[in-house]
Amino acid sequence: MRRNFFGGLWHGAFLAVGMALTQPTTIISAFVAQLTGSTVWVGGFSTVLSIAEVLPQPFVARWIEPKPLKKPFLLAAISLRFISWGILAWLIYSIGSAQPLVLAKILIVMLMIFYAGGGLANIPFTDMIGKIIPAGRRGAFFGGRGALAAPLSVAAALAAQQILAKVHYPENYALLFGTASLSLAIASLGFWIMKEPSTVPQVGLYPTWRAYWQQLIKCFRHLKTFLSAQLLTGFSLMAIPFYVVYARNNLSAPEGAVGWYLFMQVLGGALSNFVWAWIVDKSGSRNMLKLCAMVSTITPLLAIAVRPIGWSGMLPIFFLVGAFTNGRSVGFQSALLDLAPAQERSTYAALDGSLTLPLAFLPLFAGIFLQHISYNGLFLMVSLFVGVGTLVIYQWARKTN
Question: How many other CB atoms are there within 10 angstroms of residue 204's CB atom?
Answer: 9
Nearest to 267 by CA among 311, 319, 303, 321: 319
Residues 6 or more apart whose CB falls under 8 angstroms from that of 90 comprise 174, 178
Q: Are 153 and 270 in contact (CB under 8 A)?
A: yes
Region 10-33: mean pLDDT is: 79
Residue count (the chain): 401
The Cα–Cα gap between 7 and 348 comes to: 24
59-78, pLDDT tens digit by residue?
Answer: 666 666 666 676 777 788 88
Q: For the segment 306-340, what is each residue's pLDDT rounded down to a tens digit?
A: 999 988 899 999 999 988 888 888 888 778 777 77
Domains of the chain, CATH where assigned: 2-194+205-398 (1.20.1250.20)
How far apart (Å, rounded) are the C-alpha atoms in residues 211 and 50? 28
Q: Name the pLDDT band for 28 (thresholds 50, 70, 90).
A: confident
CA distance 204 to 133: 28
Say if residue 46's pLDDT is above 70: no
Lowest mean pLDDT among 98-102, 122-126, 234-238: 122-126
Mean pLDDT across the stretch 90-106?
Answer: 80
- Which residues have a Cβ under 8 Å from the Cβ of 389 and sit 6 or more positions away? 228, 229, 231, 232, 233, 234, 235, 293
pLDDT of residue 384: 94
**Do residues 13 and 141 make contact, with C-beta atoms less than 8 angstroms apart?**
no
pTM: 0.64
Whether the predicted pLDDT of 153 surpasses 50: yes
**CA–CA dist 303, 243 (Å, integer):** 8
CA–CA separation, 26 vs 252, rounded Å?
16
**Which of the residue ranges 44-53, 134-143, 197-206, 359-368 has the most confident prediction, judged by mean pLDDT?**
359-368
Number of neighbours of residue 99 by Cβ within 10 angstroms:
12
Residue 214 CA to residue 275 CA, distance in Å, equals 39
Count of H-run helices and E-run strands, the chain: 17, 0
The pLDDT score that the predictor gives to residue 303 is: 92
For 253-310, how does the pLDDT look when each residue is reduced to its tens digit (9 = 90+)? 887 788 788 888 888 887 887 788 788 877 788 888 888 899 999 999 999 999 999 8
**CA torsion angle 104 108 113 115 (round to 10):** 130
Is residue 351 classed exposed, middle or buried when 0-12, 13-18 and 19+ CB atoms within 10 A define those classes?
buried
Mean pLDDT (the chain, rounded): 79
